[in-house]
């Protein structure tokens, strides 16, 4: 199976480099990486062009519009979705692909650790716990978390 990784971006110059560096240093490479320029006015695109990415443009401002444009542009049967400030681990692509080994699996999600919020480490961990684990308990299942998820294109 092939994986398109999509990343909506709006003025992400401080973060996009680390995101793309992590994504391009995988144990198994992504089959395509798409950045949606959601009207960036900073150096986001200049930085992104240093990586093997396809850049598309979405003129309507907003994360939903950018995400939809990304998903619609994806070429392959699996669509991985991360944010421009997400730094995936080195086996992320491999793990995503393995997660779809069963044909009935339509979507998967993973956890995230919120960092760099200007808070101390304990506060960051509490925020992560509340955002991810408490929502899991309240809903009875994990939610598809846009910063770390994948879906079959057929389900999209």
Residue 143: band (very low, low, confident or very high) from pLDDT cuts 50, 70, 90 = low
Residue 19 burial (C-beta neighbours within 10 Å; 0-12, 13-18, 19+): buried
- The residue ranking higher by pLDDT, 140 or 90, is 90
Write out pLDDT tens, residues 24-72.
Answer: 999 999 999 999 999 999 999 999 999 999 999 999 999 889 989 999 9
Query: 3-105+143-152 is classed in which CATH architecture?
Result: Alpha-Beta Complex (3.90)
What span, in angstroms and rounded, lies between the C-alpha atoms of 149 and 112?
10
Instruction: Please tell me the distance from the alpha carbon of residue 85 to that of residue 107, in angstroms, as a whole number.
Output: 21
Q: Is the model's pLDDT at 16 over the cut of 90?
A: yes
Query: For the segment 98-141, what is each residue's pLDDT rounded down to a tens digit?
Result: 999 999 999 887 765 555 555 566 766 665 666 556 555 555 65
d(CA 89, CA 103): 25
Identify which has the larger pLDDT, 2 or 108: 2
pLDDT at 21 over 80: yes
Q: Is residue 78 a contact partner of residue 127, using CB atoms and an 8 Å limit? A: no
């Amino acid at each position: 199976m092939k994986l398109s990784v999509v990343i909506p971006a709006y003025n992400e110059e401080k973060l996009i480099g680390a995101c793309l560096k992590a994504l391009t240093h995988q144990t198994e490479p992504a089959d395509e990486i798409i950045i949606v320029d959601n009207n960036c006015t900073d150096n986001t695109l200049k930085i992104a062009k240093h990586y093997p990415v396809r850049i598309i443009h979405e003129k309507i401002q907003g994360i939903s519009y950018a995400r939809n444009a990304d998903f619609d542009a994806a070429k392959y049967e699996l669509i991985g979705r991360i944010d421009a400030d997400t730094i995936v681990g080195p086996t992320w692509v491999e793990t995503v692909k393995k997660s779809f080994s069963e044909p009935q699996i339509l979507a998967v999600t993973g956890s995230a650790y919120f960092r760099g919020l200007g808070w101390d480490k304990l506060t960051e961990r509490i925020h992560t716990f509340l955002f991810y684990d408490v929502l899991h308990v309240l809903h009875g299942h994990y939610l598809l978390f846009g910063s770390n998820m994948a879906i079959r294109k057929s389900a999209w």
